[in-house]
A and B are shown apart, each in its own frame.
Chain A
Amino acid sequence: MTKTIIPVGPYHPLQEEPEFFKLLVEGEKVLEIEIEIGYNHRGIEKIAESKSYDQVIFLVERVCGICSTSHPIACVNALEDLADIKVPERALYIRSIIAELERLHSHLLWLGLAGHFIGYNTVWMWAWKYREPVLDIFEKITGNRQHYAMMKAGGVRRDIDNNDIPHIMKMVDNLLPALDLFMGAVMDDPVIAARTKGVGVLTREDVIEYGAVGPTARASGVAIDVRKDDPYAAYPLVEWKVITQEEGDVFAKIVVRILEMYESVKVIKQCLEKLKVVGGEIDAKIKEFPPGEGIGRGEAPRGEVFHYIRSDGSNRPVRYKIRAPSYMNVPTNQKSVLGGSVSDATITLAAVDPCYCCTERVAVVDRKTGKKGLTGQDLIKLSQEKTARIKRDLV
């Protein structure tokens, strides 16, 4: 009897409270889903109106801890759009390095959680183990494991010391065997295939109707990626490709994220090489912002982050609008979870990679009796049990 590894912290739904995801079921089948958000609403847009632009960059970093640099990137892109600023080349490479390191740590984190939901706790431990060196690289470059405070309008706040490049390159190279491991584990494992292929399918039409973005869209064959479509930072200066799959199921979403990690490593290495030869400023030294408006985007690990700024020429925004990718992706669960079984619910909900505390509160309501049955914790267990059953049947 294997001991269930530590229940993942945030998954403690409180029975009497409104849930994030309320699944209406009949027997095993999910018929309807209600989504409620707002637990994390912090009024950041309003706070931004009373902060200077420097402070706003600091503020938006904290919209999400996992996508922590994607928001500052969209922010500085918006400011640079507003004021028509050209960013020095060296800063562009540094921006892409930080952004791709973030993609790596975020996808590894997600891979770990997905592994846990399916019941592959070794995947969880391995994914999070390989995440640590990425965080170490962050600490080396920026001084912090999370919330790096690297971006500023017109450039970056810290340079990467060229003497550190060989060391960073080596640390990045060391990730490749781990990626090969995950790739092999996912592609060749019949149990993972049985658990995720054909599960939680989101069609191309659904993606377009809901305006989904990121890996959620790319796994359904919709090849949108801000880095290619509306290029920023160093993406147009290095070689890399947009990853898509066609099936739109959970399996496709896993494959997209793993393959994207390989592309991230490619981008980081090329940028590091460029840094060896491209010197110069890392900061365009902006003093003022003109009145007007600016729109900035970034491709966060979860998809397009959208920021809009309206300026009146002072050092504070008149209006600051933020739209995070999960806002467009989470509603797609209304399509992908329906018709599936309850034991597939957790992995389907997790597949869009919502800011993960959204998945913490799930409740299952029996349609006939209206009684609340299972909790989020129970759903994870159901999912893990299904995997165990499949394993036994395959033997």
Chain B
Amino acid sequence: MAEEILARIKDRFSTRVLKVFEKSPRRIYIDFDSKYVPEVVNFIFRDLGGRLSTVTGIDTRKNIELLYHFSFDSSGTIISLRTLIDRNNPEIESVTPIIRGAEWIEREINELFGVNFIGHPCLKRLLLSKDWPEGKYPLRRE
């Protein structure tokens, strides 16, 4: 099952797949350039029936890494889309218009890492209080 899904993604996006890492039969990581992320997300969600579990943000000091974790419940596989964005100007197109459930997920990454999600319907603070200083991102390594 996981092999089938991986094959369909590779097939559809062939040259755009930067790297595939199969950690184990149920944990697969696929790297994409950030500009292709919404398209891949759309394909995974609408065509392959993947469920967005969450998105992890990581400040690697070199860049900001985003991992979009999709769960394929019938096989228990998690396929994580990995993408890197520029630390000094972190922005990427929002996937909330595609998956409603991404709304809070992207708002959280926005306030904890400073990533701008272009096209997000409502990118305001979720967890931090109103008087938390602007420009200070708790999960960044400054």
Contacts and interface: CB of A to CB of B under 8 A. Distances in A.
A–B contact with Cβ pairs below 8 Å: the answer is yes
B62 to A, nearest CB: 13
A208 B56 contact: no
A293 B27 CA distance: 10
Contacts of B15: none
Contacts of B127: 37-38, 41
Contact of A319 (B56, B74, B80, B102): B56
A329 to B, nearest CB: 10
Contacts of B118: none
B119 interface: no
Interface string A339-380: 000000000000000000000000000000000000000000
Interface in B127-141: 127-129, 138-139
Given A46-B138, A229-B76, A304-B53, A310 B58 contact: yes
Interface string A317-345: 01101010001100100000000000000
Interface residues of A, number: 34
Interface string A28-64: 0000000001100101011000000000000000000
A191 to B, nearest CB: 34
Interface in A147-179: none
A180 interface: no
Contacts of A319: 56, 58
B31 to A, nearest CB: 13
A313 interface: no
Given A230-B26, A319-B56, A327-B104, A45 B139 contact: yes
A212 B51 CA distance: 9
B53 to A, nearest CB: 5
A84, A212, A323: residue with the most chain B Cβ atoms closer than 10 Å: A323
A143 interface: no
Nearest to B67: A308
B8 interface: no
B57, B80, B101: residue with the most chain A Cβ atoms closer than 10 Å: B101
Contact of B101 (A43, A46, A211, A304): A211
Contact of A209 (B57, B69, B99): B99
A224 B51 contact: yes
A37 B126 contact: yes
B88 interface: no
B26 to A, nearest CB: 6
A224 B80 CA distance: 19
B69 A308 contact: yes
B78 interface: yes
B103 interface: yes
A240 B136 CA distance: 48
B42 interface: no
Interface residues of B, number: 36
Interface in B99-120: 99-105
Contacts of A321: 54, 56-57
Contacts of A229: 71, 73-76
Contacts of A323: 53-54, 105
A45, A208, A212, A308: residue with the most chain B Cβ atoms closer than 10 Å: A308
B87 interface: no
B101 A230 contact: no
Contact of B53 (A38, A45, A306): A306
A292 interface: yes
Contacts of B102: 211
Contacts of B105: 323, 327
Nearest to B129: A38
Contacts of B54: 306, 308, 321, 323, 327
Nearest to A330: B104
Interface in A208-237: 208-212, 224, 226, 229-231
Contacts of A293: 23, 29
A295 interface: yes
B24 interface: yes
A321 B23 CA distance: 18
A297 B73 CA distance: 12
5 contacts: A38-B125, A38-B127, A84-B24, A230-B78, A323-B105
Interface of A: 37-38, 41, 43, 45-46, 81, 84, 208-212, 224, 226, 229-231, 292-295, 297, 304, 306, 308, 310, 318-319, 321, 323, 327-328, 331
Closest 5 CB pairs of A and B: A211-B101, A230-B76, A323-B54, A41-B127, A321-B56
Given A211-B102, A229-B76, A308-B69, 8 more contacts: A43-B138, A46-B139, A209-B99, A209-B101, A211-B99, A229-B73, A229-B75, A319-B58
